[in-house]
Amino acid sequence: MRGFLDTNVLVSAFATRGIYADVLRVVLAEHSLVTSEVVLRELGRVLRKRIGLPPALPERDPGDQWILASAIESHTDVLVTGDRDLLDIAAAAPIKIIDPRGFWDLVRKNE
């Protein structure tokens, strides 16, 4: 399976243990990780800030459109994200968008 992991999934996988790290490990070991220049730039920016962002009011992230466009353009099977904005549009999206737990269940069900 070709999986496109959103930036927040990658950051969480690097920064914590748990489902996010497990998902990244499974994708790297058993599937094909698809990414884009946009995600890699955003990943570098977020990791440089070391996830220590001050609290702010939630607002829609205009970068999400580029994440979704990159996943669609790469003909990925699934976009894995913890981003609520992307998960909220999953039903209307032209590709499957699921959270890390959904991905974990999907790949483990197919074993």
Question: H/E/C letters for each residue in 64-105?
Answer: HHHHHHHHHHCCCCEEECCCHHHHHCHHHCCCEEECHHHHHH
2-109 topology per CATH: Rossmann fold (3.40.50)
Q: Name residues whose C-beta falls within 8 Å of residue 47's C-beta, 6 or more positions apart in sequence.
A: 11, 14
Phi then psi for residue 28, to 5 deg, are -65, -35
Mean local confidence (pLDDT), 44-62: 62
Question: Of the segments 31-40, 50-59, 65-74, which one has the largest average pLDDT value?
Answer: 31-40
pTM: 0.62
Q: Would you kindly state where each structural domain of the chain is located, as residue ranges?
A: 2-109
Return the pLDDT at 28.
Answer: 93
Question: Above 60 in pLDDT, residue 53?
Answer: no
Q: Using 50, 70 and 90 to split pLDDT, how confident is the model at 111? A: low
Return the pLDDT at 58.
Answer: 55
Q: In this structure, which amino acid lies at residue 4?
A: F
Per the prediction, the chain carries an average pLDDT of 85
Q: Name residues whose C-beta falls within 8 Å of residue 74's C-beta, 6 or more positions apart in sequence.
A: 2, 4, 34, 36
